[in-house]
Structure 1
C-alpha cells in the first residue's frame, strides 16, 4: 500500500513516555507539502506531490492508483510526458501500413498533426485539445474527407499510446469529441454509349481493360495485375488475386485492396473478349517484388496486359497512353471523376438496377464493409420503393379478405 508523506511536519517521539510531538521540518512553507508514495506494478516506487491544503486531492489520487492497480488499468503518470512528435514518428515507423500508402500517411501526419501537437506530452492531450485542433483544420478550409482521414490517423496514434501504457484513454474517443464525417459525392454512371465510345478509343491490345472494369468491377491496379490463370471459363468465375501498385518509385505485386482475394462472376461477353485477346496477344511473364520493393520476395506472373517492352503497366502510363487519349477521342472531359474508376461505378449501377443485393455487390467490388457500398451507391436505387410495394402487394394478395373492389368476385 502507498502512503502520504507530509513534508512540512514530522512526528517525533515524546520525552519520557509523553505523547509524540509534531514539529516543523526545514521544508515547512516551501514547495509542495504532500507527497504520495506508492509501489507501481513494475515494482518501482513512484511519487506525486501536492500543495498545501490539497491533502484530500492527494488521498483521492492514492485511492485511484490503488484501484487502478487492482483492476490492471494503472498508467504511470510520468509515461505521458513522452512528446507527441517523437511518438508519432515511432508510430509511422512501426504501424502496419500498406507500403504503397505509407508515404502519404507520413506526409499527412507531418504536415497536419505534428505541427499542432508538436512537443507537448501525449498525456497532456485532452478531448478539448482534439476539439481545438479540429477547429483549426476547419479554419484552414480542409475538406471534410481530409479531416476524416487526419482524425483517423490521430486516433490511431493515441490508441497506440494507450496500448503502450502511456495514457489511460484515447481522447479522440471522448463523448465530447465529434469525429468528422465524410461527404460522398453523388455518383453519376456513364451511359452505355459513352462506355462504348471510350472503349473504341482504347488501343486494341488494351481494349479488354474496359470489359474488366465495366463487366467485373475491377480496380485499375487489379486489371493490370490479371493473369490468364485467374480466369475459370468453365465455371464462369474470375479470381482477383493481386494488383500492380507503386511503392515509392517502384512497382510491386500485392494483394487487392483490403488485403483479400475475391471471386467475381465472369459474364459471357467479358469471357469472349478475354479469349479473343489471348488469341491475338501473347502473355508476358513479369517479375516484381511482393508488397515491399526492398524486402519483398520476387514473384513472376504471366500478365494479360503489359507495355510494348513487356513490363507491368504503370498508373501514369495507363493514364497518358491508354485512358486520356480514349476520353478525348470520345469527347469526354479528362478529369478525376472520369478516371478508369468510372467503370466500377457503371458495374455497380448495372447490378443494382438488376436488383442485386448490396452484400453480394460489396463482395464482388472488394469492399470491406457492405455499409460503405450502400453509402456510396444508395442513390442509384430509385426503384427500391416501387419494388417494395410490388413485393408486399404480391405477398398480401393471397391473404383472406385482401381482395379489393377490382378483384372482388361477382355475386348474383
Structure 2
C-alpha cells in the first residue's frame, strides 16, 4: 500500500562501519517524522512515530475510499474561500447574483468571515444565527442561512471539511422562513385602488388582475404582444445595479395568457389615449451575468405603458410615487405621516409587502380557482414551472374543492340506496 513514514533526523541506511544510522543535517531543526508517498495526499509531519503511523493508516484507508480530507485545507478563512473559490464558480442570472452578494457580504462574512472553515462549529453558528436575526428581518436572515449552508456544503465537496456544520445539529435554530399565505383582494378594493391611480397607470392594475402579469411584465408589454384572445408574455423590465434593462420573463418562460374581452377593450382605450412609444434598453440575459451594460445588445420595444417623461418605468420610483399613494387613498395602508412645521415632507412609507403589485397576481389566481379552473392551466398562464408549486401557493383559494368531492360521493351513495 502506498505511503510510508520518513525519519527526517536520521539517515535511512546505517553506517557500514558503526552499524548505526547517522544524523542528518535536519537533526533537531524540524518535526521529526513525515508521512509521504500517498497519491493525491500532501506530506504531513508529526513529533512521534506513533502519531505518524496512526495517521498514515487512516489516510491510506480514506484515500482508497475517496474520502480523504486534509484538515489543513480547512484552515482557509471563510472570507477567502468565498471570494477566491466559491463565488467565482457561481453561475446565476445577474439579478440573482446581486441578491446573493448583498446577503453573503452583508450578513454572513461580517460575522464569520475571519474564522477558518474548520473553526466554524455549532457554537459559532448558534451565535451567528442569533446575531443576524436581531439585525435583520426573518426573510433576509433565512436566505443568509441558506447561502451559508450552501457555502459550507461546497467546502465539504471540495474536501476542505469532513462534514457540513449547518446540517444535522438540533441545537442550532436557523432563521425560519416567514410563512406568508398568498392574499387576494376583493373587487371593491381593486376598484378603489384603480380609481386612485393616475389614468396612465390604471392599465397596469388591469393587466395584473386580468392576466396575472408580474409587475415587470406589465411594464414591458407591447401592443404587438396583444392578440385577439390572448397576451404573449416574452419580456419584462428588470432593475440591476439601479439601472433598467429588458430581459426574459422569470425562468425564461415565455407564455400565452387568455385575454378577457373586457381587458382587451381597456387596452385599446388606453392606447388611444396614451399612444405607445418606443423605448430602447440593454437586454439582461441570465446566461451573461457578468457582461457590462455597454456590451449588452440593445432592444427597442414600443411600450404600452410608460412614465410622464416618456421613459420606461422604474419600479422603485413607481411604487413610491404612484402605487403606495393610491393604496393610501384607497385606505389600504396608512398615509404618510404629517410633517411638523419646518420639516421636509416624508417619502418613507410603512412596510406593506403584502400589498405590493404581486397581490394582483394572487387575486387573478383566486378568481380563476374559485371559478373551477384547473391548477394545470393556471400554472401555465402564471408561468410557473411546476403545477405543484401553484397548488401549494394557492390551495387555500379552493375552499369548495373538498365540498364538491363530498357532494359527488353523497350523490353516488344516495343513488345506490
> TM-score band (shorter)?
0.7 to 0.9
Among 269, 276, 280, which residue is 2:269 paired with? 276
Q: Find the counterpart in structure 2 of residue 329 from structure 1.
A: 329
Q: Which moved more, 1:243-252 or 1:292-301?
A: 292-301
Among 118, 132, 135, which residue is 1:137 paired with? 132
Normalised by the size of structure 2, how large is the TM-score? 0.79
Q: Report the CA distance between 1:289 and its aligned residue.
A: 0.4
2: distance between equivalents of 1:333 and 1:132? 36
2: distance between equivalents of 1:230 and 1:97? 28
Q: Find the counterpart in structure 1 of residue 245 from structure 2.
A: 252
Q: Find the counterpart in structure 2 of residue 193 from structure 1.
A: 188
Matched, 1:347 2:336: no
2: distance between equivalents of 1:23 and 1:394? 100
Q: Report the CA distance between 1:75 and its aligned residue.
A: 5.3
Q: Find the counterpart in structure 2 of residue 122 from structure 1.
A: 117
Among 134, 137, 150, which residue is 1:156 paired with? 150
Compare relative contact order (CA 8 Å, sep 6+) and give the higher one, 1 or 2. 2
Q: Report the CA distance between 1:379 and its aligned residue.
A: 2.9
State the Cα RMSD in Å: 3.4
Q: Find the counterpart in structure 2 of residue 46 from structure 1.
A: 42
Cα deviations across residues 166-209 of structure 1 (Å, max 9, x unaligned)? 53666166333676441222344221111112212222222221
Structure 1 segments (4+ residues) deviating >6 Å: 8-11, 20-31
2: distance between equivalents of 1:375 and 1:145? 19
2: distance between equivalents of 1:154 and 1:376? 26
1: distance between equivalents of 2:215 and 2:250? 11
Q: 1:28 to 1:393 in 2, by over 3 A?
A: farther
Cα deviations across residues 193-232 of structure 1 (Å, max 9, x unaligned)? 1111221222222222111101111111111011112222
Q: Find the counterpart in structure 2 of residue 229 from structure 1.
A: 224
Q: Report the CA distance between 1:347 and its aligned residue.
A: 1.1
2: distance between equivalents of 1:369 and 1:336? 25
What secondary structure is seen at the aligned counterpart in 1 of 2:308? Answer: coil
Q: Report the CA distance between 1:129 and its aligned residue.
A: 4.6
Among 376, 379, 384, which residue is 2:396 paired with? 379
1: distance between equivalents of 2:35 and 2:130? 38
Cα deviations across residues 273-313 of structure 1 (Å, max 9, x unaligned)? 22222333321111000116333211111111112232101
Aligned 1:36-75 pairs, distance under 5 A: 36-41=35-40, 46-52=42-48, 53-55=50-52, 57-68=54-65, 71=66
Q: 1:60 to 1:392 in 2, by over 3 A?
A: farther
Q: Contact 2:103 / 2:140 at 8 angstroms: preserved in 1?
A: no
Normalised by the size of structure 1, how large is the TM-score? 0.80
1: distance between equivalents of 2:301 and 2:156? 43
2: distance between equivalents of 1:358 and 1:108? 34
Q: Contact 1:220 / 1:341 at 8 angstroms: preserved in 2?
A: yes
What secondary structure is seen at the aligned counterpart in 1 of 2:256? Answer: strand
Paired residues in the alignment total: 388
Q: Report the CA distance between 1:113 and its aligned residue.
A: 1.1
2: distance between equivalents of 1:362 and 1:170? 39
Q: Contact 1:155 / 1:170 at 8 angstroms: preserved in 2?
A: no
Q: Which moved more, 1:284-293 or 1:152-161?
A: 152-161
Q: 1:76 to 1:278 in 2, by over 3 A?
A: same
2: distance between equivalents of 1:386 and 1:355? 12
1: distance between equivalents of 2:241 and 2:266? 34
1: distance between equivalents of 2:15 and 2:163? 52
Q: Contact 2:34 / 2:43 at 8 angstroms: preserved in 1?
A: yes
Q: 1:29 to 1:254 in 2, by over 3 A?
A: same
2: distance between equivalents of 1:391 and 1:4? 79
2: distance between equivalents of 1:96 and 1:298? 23
Cα deviations across residues 140-189 of structure 1 (Å, max 9, x unaligned)? 264432222002221333344456x3536661663336764412223442
